[in-house]
């Protein structure tokens, strides 16, 4: 059962504590091991995403921007689960950045 720790002592954090639940053999991993080099492109992506969401247009423009600039945006990044991300984003890198944006 996949689960994500959101904050200390939430259900996932408790169940992954092997002292409390030794029968559960879960694994903790980082979402992103290293972030991309080109922060300026990510700032532009964040602006496009925020503007689109505020306007009720969804993520289409931000996703198109990411697809167009993906190589440059991903340079230097190492995401833990990019190929298997089940989010609205193209990979865990966009997802983790979406989570970190302050609007």
pLDDT tens sequence across 12-65? 999 999 999 999 888 888 877 888 899 999 999 999 999 999 999 998 999 899
- Do 39 and 51 belong to one domain? yes
The closest of 9, 49, 3, 55 to 24, measured between CA atoms, is: 3
- Do 25 and 35 belong to one domain? no
- Do 84 and 60 belong to one domain? yes
Single pTM value for the model: 0.62
Provide the domain count of the chain. 2
Q: Which residue segment(s) compose the domain that 54 sits in?
A: 31-100
- Do 50 and 24 belong to one domain? no
- Do 23 and 38 belong to one domain? no
In a 3-state reduction of DSSP, which class is residue 82? Answer: helix
- Do 70 and 20 belong to one domain? no
- Do 35 and 18 belong to one domain? no
């Amino acid at each position: 059962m996949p689960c994500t720790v959101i904050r200390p002592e939430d259900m996932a954090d408790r169940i992954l504590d092997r002292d409390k639940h030794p029968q559960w053999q879960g694994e903790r991993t980082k979402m992103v091991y290293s972030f991309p080099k080109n922060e300026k492109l990510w700032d532009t992506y964040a602006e496009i995403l925020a503007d689109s969401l505020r306007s009720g247009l969804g993520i289409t423009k931000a996703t198109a921007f990411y697809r167009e600039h993906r190589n440059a945006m991903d340079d230097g990044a190492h995401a833990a689960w990019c190929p298997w991300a089940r989010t609205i984003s193209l990979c865990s890198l966009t997802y983790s950045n979406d989570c970190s944006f302050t609007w």
